[in-house]
Amino acid sequence: MGKFDPFSYWSNALEMTYMMSEAQAVISMRLMGMAGIWSVTPAEDSRMVSEKTQAMNRAGAEAARVMIAGGTPDRVMAAAIKPIRQKTRANAKRLGKRGLKKKG
């Protein structure tokens, strides 16, 4: 798999920080959507449940693939973070575009 890269641990920490920040933003927007403040689609409630299962399954599969191939722990972690981060980034971007619910 290649040589050990100590800087990849910093990269993983940064990706986790981004992921946690995006997840918090998504949770906030979804809660505001449930309260009628944020504009969300009716399918948002079921989407937030189903996407977690898919992302976690992908994360586990990717981590296992890298581990079986002899990847270092930092690369296994990066492989596990990637699918979850992709989902949090996409959700934050999508929900952020919707904005506050318009009165009227």
Question: What pTM was computed for the model?
Answer: 0.87
* Alpha-carbon distance values, 41 to 29, 48, 71, 89, 100 (Å): 12, 12, 40, 18, 13
Per-residue model confidence as pLDDT tens digits over 40-52: 999 998 999 999 9
Whole-number average pLDDT of the chain: 93
Instruction: Indicate the pLDDT class of residue 104, thresholds 50, 70 and 90.
Output: low
pLDDT > 70: percent of the chain: 96
d(CA 98, CA 44): 12
With a CB cutoff of 8 Å and minimum separation 6, the contacts of 44 are 30, 33
- In this predicted structure, what is the pLDDT of residue 3? 72
d(CA 104, CA 102): 6
